[in-house]
Structures are given as structure tokens and as C-alpha cells.
Structure 1
Amino acid sequence: MEPFRQNPRAWNALVARLPHAHFLQTWQWGQVKAAYGWQPHPVLWKARGEPAAAALVLRRRGPWGLTALYAPRGPVLPWSWPALRGQVLADLEAWGRRAGALFVKIDPDLPVGYGLPDDEDAQPNPTGIAVQGLLQQRGWQPSEQQVQFPNTMVLDLTLDEDQLLARMKQKTRYNIRLAARKGVRVRLAQGDADWDLMYRMYAQTAARDGFVIRPRDYYLRIWHLFTQANMGQGFIAEVEGEAVAAAFVPHFAKTGWFFHGMSTRAHREKMPNYALQWAIIRWLKAQGCTRYDLWGVPTQFHEADPLWGVWGFKRGFRGQIVRTLGAWDYLPRPWAYHLFQRVWPRALAWMRRRAQRSR
């Protein structure tokens, strides 16, 4: 393992050449997190003198001098190479021990299976299952904090538009065409006014659907950095000039991701979200992308899962369900980790109560 010392473009080119590349392993994502307390450390591994694996590792110092190391959707490598994957894990473990880290977290974009778990058409991925076993043997454990969605749905953009439409559920196809008849138009986001519009819409969506979002500057930093690098695009669906739905879609290594989606309650009967998705699909195909990741489907495929409502919408596009390895933690100091897990939530609650009393 060695630090990467070249420029951002060279890093992204290296990551893009490797299997299981992801936009959360790009230089731009490191710069997003650098503004919020994380230190990005791009590292690589060589085999036969050539780069063979890479990881953007984020390092953060927490309270009481504690350190966390996290490779979001990394490391990136040909996981089917036993010697290489063993070396990568060994080096990350050693790094964690040297740093006195509370934990080292990885969550590579590595499938363990495809399709619904109990479906007769479900298919295992032998490489993912082998890596799962290797992690267990080396003392890693499934993380209690799954930062990214472990399961997702991916559309095959090598199909032509007619083939993509034919694969969809009849109702999804109908709603795409209905939106066009009802005058829903989708345009590309351009400039700060559109970013502000999208953030306001995102805040409305969060309040309506009961999830928490970050401050405005966090999202604007993501949107600016990725669009400036030609690695992301915003989309806004409108009805008679009124914005009713929007999305931000990063794209990297021939894959696009439905990263941030937002909508209002206005004109929902005109199906703007279907028009939005179809516009994204067509745009990504025009950019040469071969995959569209719809970013998250249920972890457990039943109604109690928080993503069950979203699943009802996404499943209509009939992409391939991809079940990934999920996040795994290596604990250099297990006693400190478990103590922190018990003490830190109480300390946070105490600090919040004290802050409220001092107002």
C-alpha cells in the first residue's frame, strides 16, 4: 500500500479502470467530506508494477482523540484475486492498528447476490460470498452502522429505449407516457438559482416523508464539485414552468446514480417523477453510461422496511436487484469501540440538555 501523489484527474482515471468503481471513491467525494471534518487519504496497491487496487480512505478524529477510518464504497479492486484482496485487507487492518482507530469501515460495491433473496431466480455471486467468509475469518464484523444502502436496483442502459420500456411494468410505462401527454417537461439544472430551488424542494420532501437532511451548503458543495468536474447533472421536472420534481445524478465509470431525489405535492396526478426518471435514463445513455443505479431498495423485502414505499415506485422499472456485501468493521481496540458505543450517545444527550439549559 502506498499513498497516491498525483493529480485528481489521474486518481479518478485509476479508480475508473478498476472493477466495482464508484463515485464515492472519487477525488471529488474526498473534497466534499474534507469540508466536514474528514481527511481524505487516497492510497493504491500495485501488482507486477501496475496499480491493481485503490481506496479513498476518509479519516476523522473524534472526541477523546479517537480516530475512525472509512472507505465509502471501497476498496476498489478485482475481488476475485485472492492474494490481492488478502493484502488489501491486511494493510487496512495494520493502518487501523497504527492509527489506534476505533474502527476501520469498508463497504465495497461488491455483490453477494442478485434478485430477491427468496426468489427462485435469485443468483449468488461466488466472489462476494467468498469475500464475506474471508472478512469473518479475519475478524471483521458486519457493521451496526450501514452508511450506504446495501441493496439497490440497476438498469441495463445497453438496451435501447424500446427494450427498456418493454421491460418495465405496464403501469410504469403508462405513467411515463401520461406525463408526456400532461405536459411535464424535464430540463437540466443550471446555476445557483436552480441549486437553491432543488434544496428547497429537498427540504420539503424531507419534512413530508420524515427523514433528516444536512444543511444547504453540504448539498451545494456536492452538486457544484461534481458538475464542475463533468461528473454530475441536476434534472428539474416542470409543469407549466412550475418545478414539481428534481434529482441530482452523479455519473462515473459509465454508471449513473439516482443520488438525491425530491418533489412537491403539486401536479402529482401528472406523474412528474416518471417523466423525471425517463429523462435521466435517456440522458445517461447519451453520455455513454451503461448502468443506472437507482440508489437503494429495501434491506429486508417486507412492509416494515423504511424503503418499502420507495420500492413500490422503483420496482416498476424492473432493473436487476443487486445485494451487496454491506459495511464491515475491523476493530483494532474492541473494548474501546464497545465502550464508545455505550457512552457516546449518553454524552451527546447530556451535552444537548446542557446547551438547552444555557440558552
Structure 2
Amino acid sequence: MAFRPVTPAPAEWDQFVAGHPRAHLLQTSAWGDLKAAFGWEPLRVALQDDAGRIAAGAQLLLRRLPFHLGTLAYSPYGPLVNWDDAAQVAALLSAVDTAAKQHGAAFLKIEPGYYLEADLAHSGFRPSPQTVQPPRTYMIDISGSEDAILARMNQGTRRNIRKSAKYEVEIREGTRDDVANFNALMHETGARDEFGVHAPEYYACAYDLFVPRGQAALFLASHAGQDLAGVMVFALGEWAWYLYGASSDRERQRMASYGVQWAGIQWARSKGAAHYDMVGVPDAEPEQLEAQFETRSDGLWGVYRFKRGWGGEVIRSVGAWDRVYNPLIYAAYKLALRRRESS
């Protein structure tokens, strides 16, 4: 089959992404628009087959490297291609290379995601020294009835969901006006747990881009008019993602984080999702996670204790892989990473 490189319109691209077996939120045009508002330039490259349909493609996010060293091209959870079809892979990578180089890319970083067994080295990639997305995540099966989902959780999580209702925690689906409340919770959480959060405008932009499309929802849990926890959940096809969550130090005995997370899962099921990605746990083997989660709180360890109770499994992605166009700049990039890690 012959393929022709094209630059698809956003609606055509999103239709392709939604129908792809490896569909992911971070490959949608709306995600490109979100990143465009904060310093990235989205670029979509696709292959059209003989029937005029998109057969494969990749959304690239472009960002200038420091010191006028060119551009980084990054494809999160892409490319969307049949890795078992050598001709399709070669044609797409050729089109991606051309587009990336036209935009001054020194190298291309891809993070193809989970459940992939492709020989990426054979396709010209090398393991990257730097990941962008957490390599390991916690995936929940939310197919079947609510009783079946609850039965897969551990006893403590089920009990805390019930406590949230018993202790008069009210759950509401947030409006645009509630984004400010969510931002306040996010900054409280970041200060407490010592992790970075996005600017307030970021979550507002995410709401504006995804909620009207029916691809996201904001849920807030409150008691006596005071917001205690919130989540922003996204869905596409059979997949859902818990990308952002926050909680207050106030009234923690009411287990608001459990009630609002359960509301997010129920919403994802209503959208047809069967898999709920809790997005990010420490990059350690399951045995180490279980042995250390009660004593460690650094990095993603602080969230693993909460996530492990929801009845899922730890999944590791294939990580990040780089395709080098300019070896000198790539060597400088690796040196800068080593210096940052040693400082």
C-alpha cells in the first residue's frame, strides 16, 4: 500500500486518534492547543492511504532549546502507527523526520506508552537519558459493575469511600467558576507535598479545551461549604486519565479525596472507559514499591500509598526514546542532564 504524507485538519486528526488502538489524550489536537498556550508549538504529521484515510501519524510538540541550539521535537504517547508494519513505520518516520528537521529539530523524543513490544532500536531510536512522562503508572480496570470495581479495591479504600459519604462530604461536578477553587487546592497540595504545580491559567485552559468537548470533568468535594479535595479527569474512547488531583489539610478525617476520586471513576465509566490510568507512581519494581511505600514520601512515593488501594496494577511503559538529527547538540543535551543530576 502506498502512503502519502499530509498535514491533517484538527477534526480529521482527532477522529483518527479516537479510533486508534493506542489512542491517547496527549495525541489529541486539544492537548496540542493546551501546550501551545504555554510555550510549545504543535505539529501534526500523518500518512494518508490509497483510500484517502489517515493510516498513521504523530503529534509533535516543538520547543526551542537553550542558547539557540535548535528545537526539541517531542511526541507524547506517539507515534500512532502499526509498529508491526515495517513499511508503514518507515514511511511515517520519514515524514516525521522531514517535518521535524524543517522546524530545526536537533532530535526527536518519543514516549510511545504502554503495552508495546516494538524493536524501537531497529527503527533508529536509542534509549533516552530523560523521560517526560512518569515511566510507571497504576492502571485500574473499571469495566463491569460498580460492585465489581469496588470488590477489586482493598478494604481500606472501600471503607474510606463509605466514610466520605457518611461524614457528609458533598461531591459536585465543577463549573468554570470552580477552577479557581481547584487552583487553590492545587497550590496547597504542592506546598505541602513539595511538588511543582502549573500556573492557575494552565488548569483553566485545560478546562476550557476539554470539558466543553465532553472529554474532561472537574469534581470537587466539600463539607459545610468548604472545598476539601478535587480531581480533574479526562476520557477518550476506552481510556480515562486522572491527571490532576488536590486535597486540603483541613478535615482529612472525612476522606474527601476518596469520595471525589470515586466520582471521577464513575464519570469515566459513564463515558465508556474501561481503563482508568492514575498516571504516575515511583519507577520501582512492585516488590520494592510494596516494601517501602509505608516509609517513603519523596517524589511519587507520597501518592503511591493512595493509588495502590484502588484495585489496579503497576504498569511500566517502554520509556523515552530519542532519534538524533544533530549529534553535537544531542551530546551537549546529555552533558547538561548529567551536570544537572550531579548538582
| TM-score bucket (shorter structure) | 0.7 to 0.9
* Aligned match of 2:19: 17
* Aligned match of 1:314: 307
**Code of the aligned partner of 1:87:** A
Q: Within the alignment, does 1:58 sit opposite 2:61 as a pair? A: yes
**Code of the aligned partner of 2:42:** P
- Measured at CA, do residues 167 and 330 of structure 1 come closer, stay the same or move farther in structure 2, by a change above 3 Å? same
- Superposed, 1:219-238 pairs within 5 Å as 219-238=203-222
Q: Within the alignment, does 1:283 sit opposite 2:267 as a pair? A: yes
Q: What TM-score, normalized by structure 2, do the two folds share?
A: 0.88
- Measured at CA, do residues 309 and 60 of structure 1 come closer, stay the same or move farther in structure 2, by a change above 3 Å? closer
**Code of the aligned partner of 1:168:** M
Give me the whole-angstrom Cα distance separating, in 2, the residues matched to 1:206 and 1:70: 26
RMSD: 2.3
Q: Within the alignment, does 1:84 sit opposite 2:88 as a pair? A: yes
Q: Within the alignment, does 1:261 sit opposite 2:263 as a pair? A: no
Give me the whole-angstrom Cα distance separating, in 1, the residues matched to 2:171 and 2:237: 25
Give me the whole-angstrom Cα distance separating, in 1, the residues matched to 2:128 and 2:203: 26
* Aligned match of 1:148: 133
**Code of the aligned partner of 2:62:** R
Q: Within the alignment, does 1:104 sit opposite 2:111 as a pair? A: no
**Code of the aligned partner of 2:162:** R
Structure 2 counterpart SS, 1:276: helix
Give me the whole-angstrom Cα distance separating, in 1, the residues matched to 2:94 and 2:126: 15
Q: Is the 8 A contact 1:232 1:250 kept in 2?
A: yes
Q: What TM-score, normalized by structure 1, do the two folds share?
A: 0.84
Q: Is the 8 A contact 1:100 1:332 kept in 2?
A: no
- Measured at CA, do residues 5 and 87 of structure 1 come closer, stay the same or move farther in structure 2, by a change above 3 Å? closer
Give me the whole-angstrom Cα distance separating, in 1, the residues matched to 2:252 and 2:222: 11
Give me the whole-angstrom Cα distance separating, in 2, the residues matched to 1:298 and 1:137: 29
Give me the whole-angstrom Cα distance separating, in 1, the residues matched to 2:263 and 2:202: 26
How far the C-alpha of 1:162 sits from its partner, in A, is: 0.7
* Aligned match of 1:173: 158
- Superposed, 1:190-339 pairs within 5 Å as 190-192=175-177, 194-301=178-285, 302=288, 303=292, 306-339=299-332
Structure 2 counterpart SS, 1:15: helix
Q: Within the alignment, does 1:28 sit opposite 2:30 as a pair? A: yes
Question: 1:179-232 CA distances to partner (integer Å, 9 max, x unpaired)?
Answer: 11111121101122x101101110111011001122211221112111122211
Structure 2 counterpart SS, 1:19: coil
- Measured at CA, do residues 344 and 316 of structure 1 come closer, stay the same or move farther in structure 2, by a change above 3 Å? closer
How far the C-alpha of 1:87 sits from its partner, in A, is: 3.2
**Code of the aligned partner of 2:216:** G
- Measured at CA, do residues 263 and 94 of structure 1 come closer, stay the same or move farther in structure 2, by a change above 3 Å? same
How far the C-alpha of 1:142 sits from its partner, in A, is: 2.0
Give me the whole-angstrom Cα distance separating, in 2, the residues matched to 1:85 and 1:318: 36
How far the C-alpha of 1:96 sits from its partner, in A, is: 4.2
**Code of the aligned partner of 2:14:** N
How far the C-alpha of 1:46 sits from its partner, in A, is: 3.1
- Measured at CA, do residues 233 and 95 of structure 1 come closer, stay the same or move farther in structure 2, by a change above 3 Å? same
**Quick one: percent identity of the two aligned structures?**
35
**Code of the aligned partner of 1:152:** T
Q: Is the 8 A contact 2:233 2:243 kept in 1?
A: yes
Between 272-281 and 82-91, report the one with greater CA deviation.
Answer: 82-91
Give me the whole-angstrom Cα distance separating, in 2, the residues matched to 1:316 and 1:340: 39
Q: Is the 8 A contact 1:96 1:332 kept in 2?
A: no
- Measured at CA, do residues 136 and 162 of structure 1 come closer, stay the same or move farther in structure 2, by a change above 3 Å? same
Between 261-270 and 65-74, report the one with greater CA deviation.
Answer: 65-74
**Code of the aligned partner of 2:45:** V
Structure 2 counterpart SS, 1:42: strand
- Measured at CA, do residues 279 and 91 of structure 1 come closer, stay the same or move farther in structure 2, by a change above 3 Å? same
Structure 1 counterpart SS, 2:120: helix
Q: Is the 8 A contact 2:78 2:112 kept in 1?
A: yes
Structure 2 unmatched runs, 5+: none
Question: 1:285-321 CA distances to partner (integer Å, 9 max, x unpaired)?
Answer: 1222222111112211434672222111111111133
Q: Give runs of ≥4 in structure 1 deviating > 4 Å.
A: 94-100, 343-347
Q: Is the 8 A contact 1:156 1:292 kept in 2?
A: yes
Structure 2 counterpart SS, 1:137: coil
Give me the whole-angstrom Cα distance separating, in 2, the residues matched to 1:243 and 1:14: 39
Q: Is the 8 A contact 1:257 1:292 kept in 2?
A: yes
* Aligned match of 1:357: none
How far the C-alpha of 1:83 sits from its partner, in A, is: 3.2
Structure 1 unmatched runs, 5+: 112-127, 348-359
- Measured at CA, do residues 39 and 285 of structure 1 come closer, stay the same or move farther in structure 2, by a change above 3 Å? same
